[in-house]
């Protein structure tokens, strides 16, 4: 009716390769964003001086580290979780910079809207919480505390162990990956929808009167997506911390 041509999903998330085209190491926009998401925090942390009185860039870096310390580690694990600070800080910053390219002009693609990236991050978290649990309680103790809820009647034991196994070792990484992936893909599609709507309204002369509303919505959603990018990075790191906490403390 409005000649609204929505691009196909391949058009939204697949990008041509700049280098090594067609090979395993094909380098496209997603790879570029991932490299930037790795380099920006590293450069920030190298630029920050280690003075007693912070100035300039050191303020930013210190507030990021303090945010991860107070809001993620102290909230989810406690003081003994401080040794996981490097891992959780890297995860938080990598996910955040991967997400924030969703609203940066000329990129406008969240790297985490491709399933491979959240999946690998979830596997890293999965290996970490299993490793931390085995280190803290031993293999048998970790299996017992994660598979057998306290106070289970003996008759229900096989069923409970099956359910707990699925929820702990399969659904946790799956949920972690799907949460990040679906949030980012949904945000990307939402922005594309309003972008397409703005372009279509611009070309149709009588309907151009509603263009400001559509454009205002696009601007508002861009702000909203910046919040989502931060919130999803926060939640990803927080859940990683919660899973580590659940496996190092026997209940």
Partner 1 sequence: MSALASTASQVIELAQEFTPAEAKANAGASSAGFAYGLAAIGPGIGIGYLVGQAVQAMARQPEAAGQVQTTMFLGIAFTEALALIGFVVFILLKFA
Residues that bind partner 1 (CB under 8 A): 8-9, 71, 75-76, 175, 178-179, 181-183, 185-186, 231, 234-235, 238-239, 242
Nearest distance, CB of residue 8 and partner 1, angstroms = 7
CA-wise closest residue to 90 among 216, 195, 241: 241
Query: Judged by CB, which is closer to partner 1: 45, or 67?
Result: 67
Nearest distance, CB of residue 183 and partner 1, angstroms = 6
CA geometry: angle 136, 151, 238, nearest 5 deg: 45
* Residues forming beta bridges with residue 27, ordered by sequence position: 19
Nearest distance, CB of residue 182 and partner 1, angstroms = 4
Nearest distance, CB of residue 248 and partner 1, angstroms = 17
Query: Judged by CB, which is closer to partner 1: 141, or 175?
Result: 175
Nearest distance, CB of residue 189 and partner 1, angstroms = 8
Do 231 and 115 meet the contact criterion of CB atoms below 8 Å apart? no
Query: Judged by CB, which is closer to partner 1: 111, or 177?
Result: 177
* Tokens describing residue 32: 């570029």
CA-wise closest residue to 104 among 42, 41, 39, 37: 37
Residues 6 or more apart in contact with residue 183 via CB below 8 angstroms: 228, 232
Do 4 and 196 meet the contact criterion of CB atoms below 8 Å apart? yes
Query: Judged by CB, which is closer to partner 1: 9, or 163?
Result: 9
Query: Judged by CB, which is closer to partner 1: 89, or 239?
Result: 239
């Amino acid at each position: 009716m409005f000649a609204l041509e929505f691009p196909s999903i391949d058009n939204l998330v697949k990008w041509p390769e700049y280098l090594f085209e067609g090979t395993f190491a094909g380098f496209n926009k997603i790879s570029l964003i991932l490299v930037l998401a790795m380099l920006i925090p590293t450069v920030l942390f190298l630029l920050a001086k280690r003075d007693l009185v912070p100035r300039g860039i050191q303020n930013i870096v210190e507030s990021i580290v303090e945010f991860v310390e107070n809001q993620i580690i102290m909230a989810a694990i406690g003081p003994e979780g401080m040794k996981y600070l490097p891992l959780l800080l890297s995860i938080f910053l990598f996910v955040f910079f991967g997400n924030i390219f969703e609203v940066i002009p000329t990129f406008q693609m969240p790297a985490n809207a491709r399933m491979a990236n959240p999946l690998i991050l979830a596997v890293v978290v999965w290996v970490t919480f299993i490793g931390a649990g085995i280190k803290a309680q031993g293999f048998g103790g970790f299996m017992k505390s994660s598979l057998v809820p306290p106070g289970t009647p003996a008759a229900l034991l096989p069923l409970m162990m099956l359910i707990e196994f699925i929820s702990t070792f399969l659904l946790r990484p799956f949920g972690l990956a799907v949460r990040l992936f679906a949030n980012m893909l949904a945000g990307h599609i939402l922005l594309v929808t309003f972008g397409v709507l703005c372009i279509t309204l611009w070309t149709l002369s009588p309907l151009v009167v509603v263009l400001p509303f559509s454009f205002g919505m696009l601007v508002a959603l861009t702000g909203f997506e910046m919040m989502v990018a931060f919130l999803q990075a926060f939640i990803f790191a927080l859940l990683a911390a919660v899973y580590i906490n659940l496996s190092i403390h026997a209940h």
